Structure 1
Amino acid sequence: MMAAQVPGFYMKNESRRVKIPFIDSNSLVIIPVSVNGSEPINFLFDTGVKSNIFFSKTIADELGMQYTRKLNLVGADGQTVLSASVSPNNHFDLGEIEGIYQAALVLDEDFLELEKVIGIPIYGVVGHEFFKSNPVKIDYDNAEVTIYRSSALKWKPFGFRSMPMELIGNKPYVNTTIRQIEGPEIPAKLLIDTGANHGLLLNRETTDEIVLPPLTLETDLGRSLGGDLFGLVGRVRRVEMQGLKFRGVITSYPDQTEFSDVIIETGRQGSIGAELLNRIKIIFDYPRERVLLKKGAKFSEQFDYDMSGLMIRVLSAENKRFYVSQVRENSPASLQGVQLYDEIVAINKVPAYFWELADITNLFRSEEGRVITLEILRGTGTEEEAPEKLRISFVLKKQL
């Protein structure tokens, strides 16, 4: 067909729709993709990025990816410079869907290290190209992505609400209303970012009307392309999208960076991430510049935040090794003596190799008053000195 000569993602066999299961890790959409005939490798499908990105040049070389030029990218902290190679023509195979003539930025070094944050190997990101031509539904309840024929969905499906969406720099933006705990109710243009694991993020530098809530915690907000983000986390009273009201949303307030000017230029006040999106079924209809929304099974669940004071990261996904990457001051875990870089051997007598990172995150958010017992190793473990083995218990307590 003629359309297949244009770079994009297409159904191999024309039908009204095709469903693809995805791996759900903390509500991020991860799909195995065969690149240039390779064995399938995991990619994050992310509306928040313009270009396809490949994290490992070593593996890209093994897959026969060819390069035409080099680029220097400025990271999200406005300072870190990442070098990347442009690979203009690749084939992505998702089973019944294929991406043809796909360009990708191949990072010379994997600055994101998403495996440490997500808990499973992630080799790259698929961005705007996947969403640009066909309506795409993400069903978090069933961990399914549905790709519709481009001419389908001329009318909105039963039970869905239609909401105007604006594409700026190939990224989707919607207008919402935010009711703050303190400060005015504000209209907010927000990026819909399926690749971010926050609920709501507000950039205070974009408007004086964003007011911090009375209760906040200082924390590491995670890593985006080329930079770690730090700031505060709190709650807003309500986020409203086309009549859907999300209450008590956990909200990140990042510190201002050199990248803030770019954010201000888009006219946005922040972004919506997976912790909010996983409560709805959402259809991205880029050709008609709209999103379609419907309540999901988790819609009425409260937004929970960590009650331990710990941020856990993966030392080795293959060997199921976890370590403490952050200890919040005066939190339940810190008061009982858990320290930065402690390696977790077992949680509540269950060995670490039985846990997934997402399960640990959910456990630490689960129930105020729950007792958590960690078995940890502390120290370098050199030949001269074996690591110290400790057992530390603490009680989960709400921080927000």
Structure 2
Amino acid sequence: MMNKSLIFVLFFCLLWFSTLSQNKFVVQNKKQSHKIKFKLINNLIVIPVEINGVTLSFLLDTGVSKPIIFNFLNVSDSLNIKNTESITLRGLGGGESVEALKSSNNIFKIGDAVKLNQDLYAVYNSNLNLAPRLGFPVHGIIGFDLFKDLVVEINYSKKFLRLTSPETYETKKCKSCEQLNLEFYNGKPYVNVKVNLDNMDIPVKLLIDSGGSDALWLFEDEERGIKCGEKYFDDFLGHGLNGSVYGRRSKIKELSLQSFVLKNANVAFPNTENIFHATQIKDRNGSISGDVLKRFNIIFDYRKALMVIKKNRKFKDPFSYNKSGVELAHDGIRVIQELKRNDSKTTNESQVKKGELVYSNALTISLIPAYAVVELRPGSPAELAGLKIRDVILSINGKKSYQFTLQQIMHMFYGEDGKKIKLVVDRDGEVLSFNFKLKKLM
């Protein structure tokens, strides 16, 4: 006869497998809630995602409906992807649709949140490699499928996510918070806010796009008074699924999210030909992205169609922009030789970990990251100084470039008006020096 404890164990296991077999993310712990640390890189959230037993780095993007893997990195070979079919995808950018393989029955794990039957899309377009621009490996993007199943808290100030089962989530009273109602179209969340343009308050419906690093994009609409003012400059805005996006950068007087008002916020007006498909969505007026979102701690509850926001310590940070006109990207590695004093007779373990090969007591060969110019704004300080696309940065303001991360270098270009920048570059084997000052354009 089966004892009671064994019956209980079998019942618990059956219940656990029944819950786990559902086609949704389920948090597998007693609290049904789990906290996950993330990296914030260029206003973008990067989280660890385990797919079929392989841990990868994914961008958390409220602007995508299905997970996408950048398959040119050859990650699919180790993921054991099955049941594929060819499809085409469209997004921002003026290029053609991209081909992808749709795969089903994949096991996704984010912290203690597990889903056993997840679709994903493997894209082979090499232009979708985010790693060079971020200086950090990113293998894919995930969004709606996680948000629709769980209550997602994004704490930008402490850099963690909290994933909680909606059935056990308890809404806490918060006098210093604001609640915004969400609307959904094709699995993407939209919010109604107000912008002040030419001293007029204009209601707008914006996509919440945590996968964008800018503050705000607006689609020009003369009838509604949504248009770029006289103070602006033309610039590269970013990469979409179907190519590069260009447009005009400017400022708006105010962005109002209920009682929270951000003043003198950055805004970009993308060129119409780069965003044609986005403008076809009824009543959409643009996007609200990372440079705004990071100023709040946010709770997304898709089942209740709610977004709860609370100001954090970044709220009053001034909005800035790249005053140099140059965009850099990680461009592989460089090999350098350095003379170093080395009293030991053998290479030690720490030198091996740093990627250093010691051939003698004096000569050390190291592998270091290469940062190259990939975008150059016409008429910008960097362009007028003589920089060219594909120049490789050797040093900046007297320090070797490899002593910085890519984001640290780019942050220097957002400095104060008039700040001096000295770059030493490698141009096809020739070492050149350039000097310029950051210039405020608006």
TM range (shorter): over 0.9
One-letter amino acid of the counterpart of residue 160, structure 1: C
The structure-2 alpha-carbon separation of the partners of 1:219 and 1:78, relative to structure 1 and needing over 3 Å to count, comes to closer
Tell me what 1:376 maps to: 425
Residues 345 and 64 of structure 1, relative CA distance in 2, 3 Å threshold: same
Partner of 2:70: 55
Task: Tell me how far apart the structure 1 counterparts of residues 100 and 109 of structure 2 sit (CA, whole Å).
Answer: 23
Pick the aligned partner of 1:332 from 381, 390, 394: 381
1:24 aligns with 2:15: no
> Contact (CA 8 Å) 2:38, 2:159: kept in 1 or not?
yes
CA contact (8 A) 1:207 1:269 kept: no
TM-score normalised by structure 2 residue count:
0.84
Match of 1:169 in 2: 186
State the Cα deviation string for residues 20-79 of structure 1 (Å, max 9, x = none).
Answer: 0001101211012221112x2211011000010011163212210113311022342364
Question: Aligned to 2:238, which of 222, 225, 228?
Answer: 222
Q: Which moves more between the two structures, 277-286 or 311-320?
A: 311-320
Give, as a single letter, the amino acid of the residue that structure 2 aligns with 1:163: L
Q: Which residue does the alignment assign to 2:120?
A: 104
Q: How many Å separate the matches in 2 of 1:97 and 1:224?
A: 29
Could you tell me which of 322, 326, 338 is aligned with 2:371? 322
User: 2:50 aligned with 1:34, yes or no?
Assistant: yes
| 1:66–1:87 contact (8 Å) kept in structure 2 | yes
Cα distance in 2, alignment partners of residues 93 and 134 from structure 1:
13
5+ long unaligned stretches in structure 1: 380-386
Describe the shift of the 1:319–1:207 C-alpha distance in structure 2 as closer, same or farther (beyond 3 A).
Answer: farther
Q: Count residues in correspondence.
A: 391
Q: C-alpha separation between the residues in 1 aligned to 2:29 and 2:408? A: 38
Query: What does 1:219-258 correspond to in 2, within 5 Å?
Result: 219-257=235-273
Counterparts in 2 of 1:1-400, with a 5 A limit? 1=16, 2-15=18-31, 17-38=33-54, 40-56=55-71, 58-77=74-93, 79-151=95-167, 152-157=169-174, 159-180=176-197, 182=198, 184-205=200-221, 208-257=224-273, 259-316=275-332, 319-379=368-428, 387-400=429-442
In 2, Cα distance between the equivalents of 1:339 and 1:68? Answer: 42
Alpha-carbon distance between aligned partners in 2 of 1:376 and 1:79, rounded to the nearest angstrom: 31
Q: 1:271 to 1:206 in 2, by over 3 A?
A: farther
String of CA shifts for 1:78-109, please: whole Å, max 9, x gaps.
Answer: 64121111111111223322233111011133
Secondary structure, in 3 states, of the residue corresponding to 1:287? helix
Rg (Cα) greater in structure: 2
Query: 2:332 & 2:222 partners in 1: Cα distance?
Result: 38
Cα displacement (A) at 1:208: 4.4
Q: Deviations over 1:129-174 (max 9, x none)?
A: 1111221111111111111231313454453211111121111111
Q: So what's the TM-score if we normalise by structure 1?
A: 0.92
Secondary structure of 1:212's counterpart equals coil
Paired-residue identity, %: 29
Contact kept, 8 Å, 2:151 with 2:301, in 1: the verdict is: yes
Amino acid at match of 2:193: T
Distance 2:27 2:236 in 1: 40
Alpha-carbon distance in 2 for matches of 1:115, 1:227: 16
> Can you give the 5+ residue segments of structure 2 that lack an aligned partner in the other structure?
1-15, 334-366
Secondary structure of the equivalent of 1:366? coil
Q: Report the CA distance between 1:319 and its aligned residue.
A: 4.2
Check whether the contact 1:201–1:270 (CA below 8 A) recurs between aligned residues.
yes
